[in-house]
Amino acid sequence: MNIQSNRSITPLRQRMIEDMTARKLGRHSQRSHLYSCKRFAAFLESSPETATADDVRLFQLFLIESGASICNRNRIMTGVRFLFRVTLRRHDLAAEIYHLKAPQKVPLTMSRDEIKRLLAMAANIKVKVMLSLAYGCGLRAGEVVRLRAGDIDSAQHIIRIVQAKGRKDRNVMLPADILGLLRLWWKERPRHQDKAVASGERWLFPGRNPGRPLTTRQFARLFQETIKKAGITKPVSLHCLRHSFATHLLERGLDIRVIQALLGHDKLETTARYTRVATGLISAVDSPLDDLGKGRRKHKKAGGRTSG
């Protein structure tokens, strides 16, 4: 893994990279941590090795006052905390770092009709199968683009998701419709880049660079292009397909623990948030006000019988 630039690298940066590599942090996590420490160094106008507790306090204040979102602010401070806690062994400064609680937002989902319109407007079989995997199997964008041919188990009708978020493997179902789309795509899929690669190791969706899959950014762009063609105006993102997968399964009455396993969530609380957006479940709940109305009607009937 090479996340270093061609320019000269400081001993502190090199040591931090080694610390992250030794702990098997992923490529994206390493880049995020390095960027965070670069932001902190720019704020200090000196090396983080010279930082004081007051510097840490003022930097956290600066992030909020400069308009950083809570999520972005917490991400930056996670990288800075790694630097202090692991690389510099400055536990006193690491203790000065605190995280803010992000507001609980209801996940944005798409209706079944919107999903149908989206899939119907897919530009080609490749886009259709990728969107179908994201919605029909509840996959993250990164999980879709990193699928290899060997991950598809047509005999058992499952898809193996290898080393996903949190370095976890899991299995998800392989619907018959998606298997059919995958077989059609496999016939059309370009092979000039990976002729020498074993069939099971080939990326299902090869990217522009030889030996690399399609990027999540390219996938997101294909999604937005299809959303526009489908005439869907709500501000949805590619991840909304995963939200919709979970919500629609919940509305069908599937056990929430099964949904948790399909999504790969560690905590049931993470999956339970979809109960707040399962409109089918919510709209089916009888209001206690309805009971009051029933009570009045019963009272009138009873009164009528007495007077008769």
Q: Where do runs of H (alpha helix) occur along 146-287?
A: 176-188, 216-229, 240-251, 256-263, 268-272, 279-283
Catalytic residue among 15, 85, 160, 165: 165
Cα 72 to chain center, whole Å?
15
Question: Both tokens of residue 298?
Answer: 């019963």
Residues 6+ apart with CB under 8 A from 49: 12, 88
Residues 6+ apart with CB under 8 A from 31: 3
Catalytic residue among 31, 239, 273, 276: 239
Which DSSP symbol is given to 190? -
CA max distance for the chain: 100
- Helix 125-136 to helix 240-251 angle (10° resolution) is 50
Residue 165 annotated among the catalytic residues of the structure: yes
Residue position matching structure tokens 């009272």: 299
Which DSSP symbol is given to 154? T
d(CA 142, CA 182): 18
In the sheet that 170-173 helps form, which strands lie side by side, from edge to edge? 152-153, 158-161, 170-173
Catalytic residue among 148, 202, 243, 265: 265
Catalytic residue among 73, 81, 242, 243: 242
> Considering only CA atoms, which of 173, 174, 177 is closest in space to residue 119?
177
Residue 274 annotated among the catalytic residues of the structure: yes
Residue 28 annotated among the catalytic residues of the structure: no
Residue 90 annotated among the catalytic residues of the structure: no
Residue position matching structure tokens 């630097």: 83
Sign of CA dihedral 188, 190, 192, 195: negative
Which DSSP symbol is given to 273? G
Catalytic residue among 33, 73, 81, 140: 140
**Which positions are annotated as active-site residues?**
140, 165, 239, 242, 265, 274
